[in-house]
Amino acid sequence: MDYLKWSKDEAIATITISRPPANALSQGLLKELSDVLDEIEPDREIRVIVIHGEGRFFSAGADIKEFTTVDSSAGFTNLGTTGQNLFDRMEKFPKPIIAAIHGAALGGGLELAMACHIRLVSETAKLGLPELQLGLIPGFAGTQRLPKYIGTARAAEMMFTSEPITGAQAAQYGLANHAYPEEDVLDQAYKLARKIAKKSPVSVQAVIQLLNYSKTHEFYEGMKREAELFGEVFTSRDAKEGIKAFIEKREPQFKGE
């Protein structure tokens, strides 16, 4: 694999995002993540998964440069739907997934983290959905999951301003389970994983199924509409300007078209 590493130690599997410098979520990386889940799912020895990022970040977001290779609304809608389906699979995955977050989980990185069952963060980590800064919107169900965790008002502020919150705030708001000093996050994730691994896989899987019953029909309608708007917004002139400005490292000049 080019972008991920994974291993197992007794009942715990570790997935490491390894795409320096920012662990950006490319289409290739998402495909590899799907392939890893295919390997882990039938392995009866594995009971819990820990996912984390190598280097400075958990994941600083999607690969913006890759967006320049997509030239149609339908193409971006398909991209959004692909990410949504993968993250929905993670949320329904029969083995608990723990995200150990340090550095930054932004954009697609935060959407990935929100699809995990449990999130542990470093106190100083930055978590946010900054897509509007580029004239874009979240596309991997971020607009649907974030309000579920922190409420509509806080989610609106985070997305409208593009400003991240700290890991300490994320724990306070309910977006993360616990916040720790950065050097302790991964150890705490394994400590938690070992506790969960002692439980009956049958009962754990039942709880995961029941947790997913809390999703409503409106959630999936919202996901579908998000993917459609993801495609429409990405083909706007403002989106092209936002992506170009990001690549050129300058402030975008949006004109509302």
Active-site residues: which are they? 111, 131
**Measured distance CA(170)–CA(122) in Å, rounded:** 10
Q: How far is CA 163 from CA 2, 50, 77, 149, in A?
A: 31, 27, 25, 17
Nearest one of 100, 58, 95, 63 to 79, comparing CA atoms: 63
Q: Are 192 and 157 in contact (CB under 8 A)?
A: no
Q: Are 79 and 40 in contact (CB under 8 A)?
A: no
CB count in 10 Å sphere of residue 68: 12
What does residue 233 show for φ and ψ, rounded to 5 degrees?
-65, -40
Nearest one of 137, 43, 136 to 94, comparing CA atoms: 43
Torsion of CA 80, 82, 84, 89, to 10 degrees: -170
The structure tokens listed for 179 are: 């916040």
**Measured distance CA(159)–CA(145) in Å, rounded:** 12
Q: Are 162 and 133 in contact (CB under 8 A)?
A: yes
